[in-house]
Amino acid sequence: MIRERIQYLHPFADLGERARETLLQHARTITVNPGFKLHARDEFRNMIFLLEGRMILASGRHSAMLRGDADEALSPLFTTHDYHSHAIAASRATLAILDRNLYETLVDDSSQDNVEVSEIELSDLEGELFRSVYTHAYAGELALPQLPEVALHLQRALQDPDISIANATRIIEEDPSVTGRLLSVANSPAMGSHRVISRLQDAVARLGLERTRQLVMALAMHQVFIHRDSPLHDLLERLWRRSARIAAYSCVLADQCEAADPQTALLAGLLHRVGALPVIAEVARAHPDHTPQDLQRILLRLEGLVGELVARQWELSSDIIEAIRDSGGPENPEAQVLTDIVRIARAACPQDTEDDPLADHIALADLRAVDRLGFVLDDAGNLPAIETARQEVEALIRAVV
């Protein structure tokens, strides 16, 4: 049904045949029963169309009935920046779900007449990369990074609420490098203690089991990011350093606004671009002659999607998954606090170079999240909250880099 209808749906009518076929390869249809509900805030990555049946569209105090055979059903249920509407099935209904990121990649936003981009972009390196990574990701064939053994074992062991500090210590001791770094963190000024400890078990006791779990995950992540034999080693190093700085900013911001756990914010900051790793690996494997511009566009389109796959495979908490998936996408006024914190930290982190394809280009003054969390910018548009904690920030960065 979607194949017959797609040429009439807005905004697909002007797409060429090859571009529509690419969309169809990744489209899906679902049939829902009366009472099934969709929220616009949860579906910003999708374009959803009513093919058959009836849906009630509601926004605030206004509502309207939509029928699958009406002209209005040729447009998506929710617009791009709609975070407040919802739709409820009034009868058994069939919905078509198409990926918004894929559509935006198929369309050259700067083109004059919305021409078929498959002839302009999908025939070059960028198009090949996008199809390869996207297809492998959804087919479950993309090589996702594996969680280091020590982090995996500790993650599983801590599911037992009665685990002892001694048992946790024995697991961490499996990785000497993580052990050494954990001792360093436990003795850092950020922990606020002047008594130096030398035993790992004492470090775990000082940090607490939950903070230990998060720090072990963070410290083990260095092994995931850095591959000495990768032809893109320098790029991965830059990504890790930047992620470490954003993690430190996230930790400090969470502590100052008291709206999220600082150690969870630290972990979310470290992992917020973990989805870039499989994408970069695919580029190095299949297209070693890439350009920074090719890579930047692919990362912008894919890393949130792939990052969510990695995060779910690692069984991370839902708030960290959202921060990984959404902190680089369109700003959602109903986002969780952790997502807003990481988004602000990304904007506050200085760029290494103007042409760094991994840098974020957004001004803090343009983020509504700054006001939502109660932060105030100085006259230069910077965050005094970070500047006043500069010593703590640098100590956190040294702990994880």
37 contacts 88 by C-beta, under 8 angstroms: yes
Q: What is the pLDDT of residue 139?
A: 67
Q: What is the pLDDT of residue 400?
A: 64
Q: What are the DSSP E strand ranges found in 288-347?
A: none
pLDDT in tens, 147-160: 778 887 887 888 78
CA distances from 101 to 107, 121, 124, 166, 282 (A): 10, 15, 18, 47, 19
**Reported confidence tier of residue 283, pLDDT bands at 50, 70, 90:** confident
133 contacts 309 by C-beta, under 8 angstroms: no
Question: What average pLDDT score do residues 266-277 get?
Answer: 89
37 contacts 86 by C-beta, under 8 angstroms: yes
Given a cut of 70, is residue 399 above it in pLDDT? no
Domains in the chain, CATH or no CATH each = 2-123 (2.60.120.10), 149-400 (1.10.3210.10)
pLDDT in tens, 349-377: 876 544 555 566 678 888 999 999 999 89
Single-letter amino acid, residue 58: A
Given a cut of 50, is residue 123 above it in pLDDT? no
pLDDT in tens, 236-248: 888 888 888 898 8
Tell me the residue length of the chain. 401
How far is C-alpha 346 from the chain's CA centre? Answer: 12
Task: List helix spans (H) across 2-148.
Answer: 2-5, 17-25, 100-106, 125-138
pTM for the model stands at: 0.65
pLDDT in tens, 29-48: 999 998 899 988 778 778 99
Helix 292-313 to helix 318-326 angle (10° resolution) is 170
